[in-house]
Amino acid sequence: MADRLQVFPSRLEGMDRSAPVWVMAALALALLILLPLGWLAYVSVSSEGSLTLAHYRKVFMDPRLQKALWNTVILAFWVGLASLAIGVPMAWLSARTNLPGKRLIRGLMMASFVTPPFLGAFAWVMLAGPNAGFLNKLYRNLTGAEEPLVNIFSMSGLIFVVAIYTFPYVFIMIANTLDLIASDLEEAASILGAGRLQVALTITIPMVAPAILSGFILAVLQALALFGSPAILALPAGFHTITTQIWALFHYPPKTEMAAAFSIPLLLATALLLLLQKKLLGRRGYASVGGKGGQRREIPLGFWRYPALLGCLAVMACSIFLPYGILAKAALSRAWAQPMTWENFTLANFWFTFFEYSSTRLAIVNTLELGIMTACVGAGLVALLAYITNRKIIPGHQILGFLALAPVVIPGVVLAVGLFIAYTRPPLLLYGTLGILFVAYLTKEMPVGYSQSDATFRGIHPELEEAGRILGAGRLRVLREITAPLALSGIIATWCFIFIGVIRELSASIILFTPNTKVMSVVIFDLKEEGQFGAIAVLGLFMLAVTFAIVVLMQSLLGRDFLGAKE
């Protein structure tokens, strides 16, 4: 059959092939995005069958909700700035200078990138709780001070914790851009007598300005959508953000219409920000960013080599060493706040978590099942989409690409509210099954997976396929024997990306789970609400172990790390 396909298909055949793709795409789109968001919008303006703006009025007149809105703005803005403040210098150091230990820094950056933010927030409760926190105790012992060094239960504490897990987004963006820019302009400036810092500030930074702005927006978006960290750090301090407020509106008796009305502004904000980012990146006013070519010379840091490394390590200590250390300590001790003595040592937390607490096994099975299912379906789907858009197989393929990227504007909580409304009623009663979580995860992971896959197929030049076709192989045979083997490692990487994204997901799961469809993140959150620190630490470490196993698998398959650096 395949042999008989023509090299240049007639228009009719092209149409034939695209029809089923379009039907499938439309269906998927309807189920994943339009139905939930449609219901969300409808519920937000309807009251017993008639249309009304009453819910919006109520949302925006309620001083408590106003405050949550304002808190979110503050949080997102400062997280954006803080992420730049950490991410830009580190990216510059690791892309442009002779900083020692670059591979180590990249490796740690990846670790911080895959650490679930809510685990980080939980660890920081134990590190910097104003009275019992490890660092504050240390500080008091050293200085004899009364006041704590840091109070993590505050807006600034929240900004700090969110920022140390968000800045890798900025880092990746800037480092990858810097990798593309030739250093001849910088060299010219040096020759003309500019100092290293002056070159960085007047040449390098302006050249990557669009990337910086767009990194800022990316960080802001992350901060806007986050649920776990504010729930763990803001609620004890007595304030809400939009996401925790939406979650609270779901408590009994549920005010679904208010939650919907509160979700729409968040959705609009994220959509606007992304539009802005696209404008910034699309403008390409800075001609230097364009493909490879040109020389990249390392800037010698001289005396500053080791202080710079120390600075980078200090940042990574905040996001990796200290949190992981305190998690391990909590997992192994009877009382997390007491010193690690022999009397305080115990394995009981492990025993309790894995053998007594019955939710653990259920949650692990559900999480892995969902992770594997979503990763397989997702990786397959985005590979197909990326192939179609890259090889322009059907007319209107650009639209498919756009649709695959569209869910990036939907924060997890908002998506969950929409899915909850859409799938707790006939004809599709998905609520209560793993199906609804699957749909949520697939939608949420689609943009990341698609970008990954797109890059993979962009890297495979069509000339290899064309050669195959010229030698007489049909499209399917070429796909099977040439394209698929070339794309395989990239597709596996996408699989891993999606899998890691799924097992750490909390913001949508927390609204969509039912007792039988608990996942690990939800169980950890449940335990947090009851203050079972030992069990949370054990489950958290388990989650990290699974994540890192996948990361290692992926690196060995790809021969490069997550962030694009060659081994």
Partner 1 sequence: MRRWWLLTITLAFSGPVAFAGLSFGQDIRLEAAKKEGKVVWYSSLAVPSTEKIAKMFEAAYPGIKVEAHRTGSQRVLQRVMQELQANIKNADIVHTSDAGHFVLLKEKNLLMKYTPAGVEKFPSGFKDKDGYYYGLRASLSAIAFNPKVISPTEAPKTWKDLLDPKWRGKLVTAHPGYSGFITTHILALVNQYGWDYFKQLAQNKLMLVQSANDPAQVVASGERPIAVNGAEYFFYQTQKKGNPIQIVYPKEGVPLVVSPTAITSFAPHPNAAKLFTDFTFTREVQQVLADSEGLYTGHPEVRYPEDKPKLGDLKLLQVDPEELEKRNQEIKDRFVEFFGA
- Residue 66 sits in the site that holds partner 1 (CB under 8 A): no
Place of tokens 């519920």: 43
- Residue 424 sits in the site that holds partner 1 (CB under 8 A): yes
Whether the Cβ atoms of residue 25 and residue 13 lie closer than 8 Å to each other: no
Where in 430-459 is the site for partner 1 (CB under 8 A)?
431-432
d(CA 49, CA 57): 18
- Residue 130 sits in the site that holds partner 1 (CB under 8 A): yes
Tell me the closest approach of the beta carbon of residue 370 to partner 1, in angstroms: 19
**How does DSSP classify residue 97?**
B
- Residue 16 sits in the site that holds partner 1 (CB under 8 A): no
- Residue 334 sits in the site that holds partner 1 (CB under 8 A): yes
Taken in order 383, 386, 391, 396, the sign of the CA dihedral is positive
Whether the Cβ atoms of residue 517 and residue 366 lie closer than 8 Å to each other: yes
| Binding window for partner 1 (CB under 8 A); candidates: 238-246, 395-403, 492-500, 538-546 | 238-246
- Residue 336 sits in the site that holds partner 1 (CB under 8 A): yes
Decide whether 431 or 499 has the Cβ nearer to partner 1. 431
Decide whether 234 or 551 has the Cβ nearer to partner 1. 234
Q: Is 293 left (phi over 0), alpha (psi -120 to 50) or beta?
A: left
Which helix (H) or strand (E) element contains residue 486?
helix 484-503
CB atoms within 10 A of CB 19: 11
Where in 386-415 is the site for partner 1 (CB under 8 A)?
none
One-letter identity of residue 138: L
Decide whether 253 or 293 has the Cβ nearer to partner 1. 253
Decide whether 137 or 560 has the Cβ nearer to partner 1. 137
Provide the terminal-to-terminal Cα distance of the chain, rounded to the nearest Å: 43
Figure out which of the listed residues 48, 193, 197, 251 binds partner 1, where binding follows CB under 8 A: 251
| Binding window for partner 1 (CB under 8 A); candidates: 9-17, 237-245, 307-315, 381-389 | 237-245
Decide whether 128 or 211 has the Cβ nearer to partner 1. 128
Decide whether 217 or 326 has the Cβ nearer to partner 1. 326
- Residue 367 sits in the site that holds partner 1 (CB under 8 A): no
Size of the site for partner 1 (CB under 8 A): 46
Which helix (H) or strand (E) element contains residue 17?
helix 11-29
Q: Among 324, 368, 328, 332, which Cα is nearest to 350's?
A: 332
Figure out which of the listed residues 216, 239, 262, 387 binds partner 1, where binding follows CB under 8 A: 239
Q: How many CA atoms lie less than 13 Å away from 360 in the CB half-sphere?
A: 18
Decide whether 22 or 352 has the Cβ nearer to partner 1. 352
Decide whether 362 or 460 has the Cβ nearer to partner 1. 362
| Binding window for partner 1 (CB under 8 A); candidates: 22-30, 113-121, 234-242, 497-505 | 234-242
Tell me the closest approach of the beta carbon of residue 229 to partner 1, in angstroms: 14
Q: What track of x and - describes contact with partner 1 for positions 497 through 536 (by CB under 8 A)? A: -----------------xxx---------xx-xxxxx-x-
Decide whether 387 or 431 has the Cβ nearer to partner 1. 431
Which helix (H) or strand (E) element contains residue 51?
strand 50-51
For residues 332-343, one letter each, b for 16 or more C-beta atoms within 10 angstroms of the residue's C-beta and e for the rest, the string is: bbeebbeeeeee
Tell me the closest approach of the beta carbon of residue 200 to partner 1, in angstroms: 43
Taken in order 310, 315, 318, 319, the sign of the CA dihedral is negative
| Binding window for partner 1 (CB under 8 A); candidates: 52-60, 189-197, 328-336, 442-450 | 328-336
Q: What track of x and - describes contact with partner 1 for positions 347 through 366 (by CB under 8 A)? A: -----x---xxxx-------
Tell me the closest approach of the beta carbon of residue 238 to partner 1, in angstroms: 3
Where in 159-198 is the site for partner 1 (CB under 8 A)?
none
Tell me the closest approach of the beta carbon of residue 225 to partner 1, in angstroms: 19
**How does DSSP classify residue 55?**
H
Helix axes 397-405, 11-29, angle to 10 degrees: 20
Whether the Cβ atoms of residue 242 and residue 266 lie closer than 8 Å to each other: yes
Cα 494 to its chain centre, rounded Å, is 14
Q: Among 223, 232, 227, 433, which Cα is nearest to 323's?
A: 232
Place of tokens 């090299």: 7
- Residue 234 sits in the site that holds partner 1 (CB under 8 A): yes
| Binding window for partner 1 (CB under 8 A); candidates: 176-184, 230-238, 282-290, 544-552 | 230-238
Which helix (H) or strand (E) element contains residue 82?
helix 63-96
Figure out which of the listed residues 78, 153, 438, 499 binds partner 1, where binding follows CB under 8 A: 153
Beta bridge partners of 345: 333
Residue by residue, DSSP assigns 421-459 as: HHHSSTT---TTSHHHHHHHHHHHHHHHHHHHHHHHHHT
Positions touching partner 1 (CB under 8 A) are 64, 129-133, 153, 234-240, 244, 248, 250-254, 334-337, 352, 356-359, 424-425, 429, 431-432, 514-516, 526-527, 529-533, 535
